Amino acid sequence: MIVENRAIYPGTFDPITLGHVDLINRSLQVINEIVILVAHSKKDPLFDAETRKELIATCFKNDPRVKVEVYEGLLADYARRNNIKVVLRGLRGVSDFEYEFQMATMNRRMYPDLQTLFLMASEKFFFVNSTLVKEVISHGGDVSELVPSHVEKKLKEALCSGSRSAVNP
């Protein structure tokens, strides 16, 4: 059953995790096309926006239903300009809900046609977030079951080799 043709899945994705990938794949069961919107981050991301875009695009290189774009600005403005009426958001637990509810309400206030579709994280990934992944790998921990292999390689290059060549200056 398709509920809408297109949806936006926004985030910083610094880096994309298997939790993100799982949510996108499950969303594709009800959405025809997903635009993953990589946000410029004020949180001093490890990877620049173009690197994050490339890491995401590699995950879905064989799926034409997934597009990846970098965007700086209001989500509601992007959605309106592109005639997209659904935003996908993942919830890992109750702690995510308050923030996500506030964002959904503000987006809808700016663009009344915009609906937010919340999906619960899979049990396997409910504890995973990008910050935790970076912390674990920076101390030599194994993240192979938390991120795609090409992302793990890029994280090791950035955090374990002592150089930050593929990251923000």
Res. 23: pLDDT tops 60: yes
Evaluate whether 148 touches 16 at the Cβ level (below 8 Å): yes
Give the integer Cα–Cα distance in Å for 90 and 35: 15
Res. 154: pLDDT tops 70: yes
Sign of CA dihedral 56, 12, 4, 147: positive
The pTM (predicted TM-score) of the whole model is: 0.89
Res. 164: pLDDT tops 90: no
118 lies in some domain: yes
Q: What is the mean predicted confidence (pLDDT) over 141-167?
A: 82
- CATH code of the domain covering residue 74: 3.40.50.620
- 44 confidence band (pLDDT: 50, 70, 90): confident
116-137: b (≥16 Cβ within 10 Å) or e: bbebebbeebeebbbeebbeeb
- Domain containing 43 equals 4-127
Q: What is the mean predicted confidence (pLDDT) over 21-27?
A: 96
116 lies in some domain: yes
Q: Which residues are catalytic?
A: 20, 43, 92, 130
Number of structural domains (the chain) is: 1
Evaluate whether 168 touches 52 at the Cβ level (below 8 Å): no
